[in-house]
C-alpha cells in the first residue's frame, strides 16, 4: 500500500466534481477563473454530487521543478522612507548585488521581499514615521514561474509559488540557531491534495460572491422577522414548494374581519387626540393590572394545591378531636353522665368558665372549689367528690390533646372563612371588566367567564371541605 493508492481510495469517496479536479491536477491541467466559474455552474446544477469512478484515472506524476525567480520590487508606496514609485529590478541570470550608504533603503527593500516570500523570520513593514499622516505601506512583487511573468501586491495571501522562494538574513539565522526546528519530508503526491484544497477555496469564494449578489437583488418587503410572514419569507429556499407558499398565504377564518377592525382602529387613533388616547390607555392598563392581580389571587386561593392543604387541615382537626374524645372517654368512664369531652359538653364547660370568671367569682381562677363555694351550673354546695370532678374536668380542657384539637379546629374554621369571604363582584372588578370589554370584547368576556368559574369552584370546594363530596376538578385554574 502506497500513499498514491491511499489517495486514490480516498478520492473515490469524494463527489464527482472533486474527483474530476483531482484527475485534472494529476494530469497537469490548471484551473483559470473561467474554469472555476464553469465548475461552480456544474455543482449548482447538481449533476455531479454523487461519487463516480473518475478517481480511477488518477495518475500521480512526480512533481516537476518549476523555477521561481524574483524579477523586481515596484510601485513602492509609504514604506519606511523609501521614495514612492521606485522600482528595484533583479537580474534574470547571475548574482544581483545591491549596495549603498547607510539609510539609503537597502533594509527597507529587504523587509519588503522578506514579507512576501518564504522566510524563517518575518518583521513588520512600517510606514514613514516622519509623516504626520503616513499612508498604508504597499508594494508589488514581480516574479516569474517557469518563465511566465506574475506579480503580487503586498498584504495578499502568499501563493505556493512565492513560498518556494526562500529569504535569509541575520535574523533568519538567529531563528535557525535559537529555536528548535524540524526537517520534514513531504511526498510530492500530496500536491494533489494541495491543488484540490486551492480549487475548493476558489469554488467557495465564487459561491460566496454569487450568494451576496443574489442577496443584493432580493426584494425587501419590509417584513419584521419576528412576524409570521417575516419568518416565512426569511426561511424561503429554492426547495420551498408551491403548496407550502399557498398554505402560508391562506388566510385563517375571520382574518378579513380582524383586518377591517384594525384599520378602523388605526383610523380612529389617527383622528384622535394623542394625549387623550395616552391617558385612556394608561387608565386601561391600570385596570387590567388590577384585574390580573385579583384573578391571580383568586387562582392561587382556589388552586388544587391550596385545596389539598385545606383538606389536610380538616383531616387534622377531625383526627386530633377524636384523640381528645378518646382521652376523655378513658378518663371519665365512671362519671354519672356520658358525653364528657364532647362538643356540646365543651360548649357548656366554656360557658361555665366564662360565667365564673366574669360574674360569679371574677376575682378567682376557675374552677372555684374553696369553702362555701357553690357549683356555677347547679349552684349547689360542692362536696369533696364534686370538687375533685371539677378539677379533673378543667385539667382535661387544658390538656395538650384537647388544646391541639381546639387549635386544629380553629385553623380549619379560619381557612373556611377565607373561602367564604372571597369576592367575585366588587366595584373595582366591575369597572375593570367594563373597560376591558370596551377595548377587547373577547378578552373581557373570557375574564368575566373565568370569574364565574372561579366562584363556582369556590362553592364546590366548600362543599367538599364540609361534607363527603369529592374534590372538584380544577381544569384551567392552576
pLDDT tens for each residue of the chain, 478 residues long = 677 778 778 888 888 888 888 888 877 778 889 989 988 888 888 766 667 777 677 765 544 567 889 999 999 888 888 888 889 999 988 899 988 888 888 888 888 888 888 887 877 888 888 888 888 888 999 999 888 899 988 878 777 788 788 888 888 888 778 876 655 556 667 778 888 899 999 999 999 999 888 888 877 778 888 888 888 888 888 788 988 888 888 888 888 888 888 888 788 777 777 788 788 788 888 888 988 888 888 888 898 888 889 999 998 888 877 777 766 665 666 667 777 767 777 778 778 888 788 888 887 888 888 877 888 778 788 887 777 777 777 766 666 677 778 888 899 999 999 999 998 888 888 888 888 888 888 888 898 898 999 999 999 999 999 988 888 887 555 4
Q: Is 126 exposed, middle or buried (0-12, 13-18, 19+ CB in 10 A)?
A: middle
CA dihedral 197, 201, 203, 206 (to 10 degrees): -170
- Alpha carbon 378 to chain centroid distance? 79
Grid cell listed for 331: 378518663
Grid cell listed for 306: 391550596
How high is the pLDDT of residue 326? 64
How high is the pLDDT of residue 207? 93
Q: Is 233 exposed, middle or buried (0-12, 13-18, 19+ CB in 10 A)?
A: middle
pTM above 0.95, yes or no: no
C-alpha distance across the termini of the chain, in Å: 71
With b meaning 16 or more CB within 10 Å and e meaning fewer, what string describes 274-310? eeeeeeeeeebeebbeebeebbeebbebbeeebbeeb
- Taking CA atoms, 133 is separated from 76, 78, 129, 130, 471, in Å, by 17, 10, 9, 9, 85
How high is the pLDDT of residue 478? 47
Distance (Å, whole) CA 442 – CA 319:
48
Amino acid at each position: 500500500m502506497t500513499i498514491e493508492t491511499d489517495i486514490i481510495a480516498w478520492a473515490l469517496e469524494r463527489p464527482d466534481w472533486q474527483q474530476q479536479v483531482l484527475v485534472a491536477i494529476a494530469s497537469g491541467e490548471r484551473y483559470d477563473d473561467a474554469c472555476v466559474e464553469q465548475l461552480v455552474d456544474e455543482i449548482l446544477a447538481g449533476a455531479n454530487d454523487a461519487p463516480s469512478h473518475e478517481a480511477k484515472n488518477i495518475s500521480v506524476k512526480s512533481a516537476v521543478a518549476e523555477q521561481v525567480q524574483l524579477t523586481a520590487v515596484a510601485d513602492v508606496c509609504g514604506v519606511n522612507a523609501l521614495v514612492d514609485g521606485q522600482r528595484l529590478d533583479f537580474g534574470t541570470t547571475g548574482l544581483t548585488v545591491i549596495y549603498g550608504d547607510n539609510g539609503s533603503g537597502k533594509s527597507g527593500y529587504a523587509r519588503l521581499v522578506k514579507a512576501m516570500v518564504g522566510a524563517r523570520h518575518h518583521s513588520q513593514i512600517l510606514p514613514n514615521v516622519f509623516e504626520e499622516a503616513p499612508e498604508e505601506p504597499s508594494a508589488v512583487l514581480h516574479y516569474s514561474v517557469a518563465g511566465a511573468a506574475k506579480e503580487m501586491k503586498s498584504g495578499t495571501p502568499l501563493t505556493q509559488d512565492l513560498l518556494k522562494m526562500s529569504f535569509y538574513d541575520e535574523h533568519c539565522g538567529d531563528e535557525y540557531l535559537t529555536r528548535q526546528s524540524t526537517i520534514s519530508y513531504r511526498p510530492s503526491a500530496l500536491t494533489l491534495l494541495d491543488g484540490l484544497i486551492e480549487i475548493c477555496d476558489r469554488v467557495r469564494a465564487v459561491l460566496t460572491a454569487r450568494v451576496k449578489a443574489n442577496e443584493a437583488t432580493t426584494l425587501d418587503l419590509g417584513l419584521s422577522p419576528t412576524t409570521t410572514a417575516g419568518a416565512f419569507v426569511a426561511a424561503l429556499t429554492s426547495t420551498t414548494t408551491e403548496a407550502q407558499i399557498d398554505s402560508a398565504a391562506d388566510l385563517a377564518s375571520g382574518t378579513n374581519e380582524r383586518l377591517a377592525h384594525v384599520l378602523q382602529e388605526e383610523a380612529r387613533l389617527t383622528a384622535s387626540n394623542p394625549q387623550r388616547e395616552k391617558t385612556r390607555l394608561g387608565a386601561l392598563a391600570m385596570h387590567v393590572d388590577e384585574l390580573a392581580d385579583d384573578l391571580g389571587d383568586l387562582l392561587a386561593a382556589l388552586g388544587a394545591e391550596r385545596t389539598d392543604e385545606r383538606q389536610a387541615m380538616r383531616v387534622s382537626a377531625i383526627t386530633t378531636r377524636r384523640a381528645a374524645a378518646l382521652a376523655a372517654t378513658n378518663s371519665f368512664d365512671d362519671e354519672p353522665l356520658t358525653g364528657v369531652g364532647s362538643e356540646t359538653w365543651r360548649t357548656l364547660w366554656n360557658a361555665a368558665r366564662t360565667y365564673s370568671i366574669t360574674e360569679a367569682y371574677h376575682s378567682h381562677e376557675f374552677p372555684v372549689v374553696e369553702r362555701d363555694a357553690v357549683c356555677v351550673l347547679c349552684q349547689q354546695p360542692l362536696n369533696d367528690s364534686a370538687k375533685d370532678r371539677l378539677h379533673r374536668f378543667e385539667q382535661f380542657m387544658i390538656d395538650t390533646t384537647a388544646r391541639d384539637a381546639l387549635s386544629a379546629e380553629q385553623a380549619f374554621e379560619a381557612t373556611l372563612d377565607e373561602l367564604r369571604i372571597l369576592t367575585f363582584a366588587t366595584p373595582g372588578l366591575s369597572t375593570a371588566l367594563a373597560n376591558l370589554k370596551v377595548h377587547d370584547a373577547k378578552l373581557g368576556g373570557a375574564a368575566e367567564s373565568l370569574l364565574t368559574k372561579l366562584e363556582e369552584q369556590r362553592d364546590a370546594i366548600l362543599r367538599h371541605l364540609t361534607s363527603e363530596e369529592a374534590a372538584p376538578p380544577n381544569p384551567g385554574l392552576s
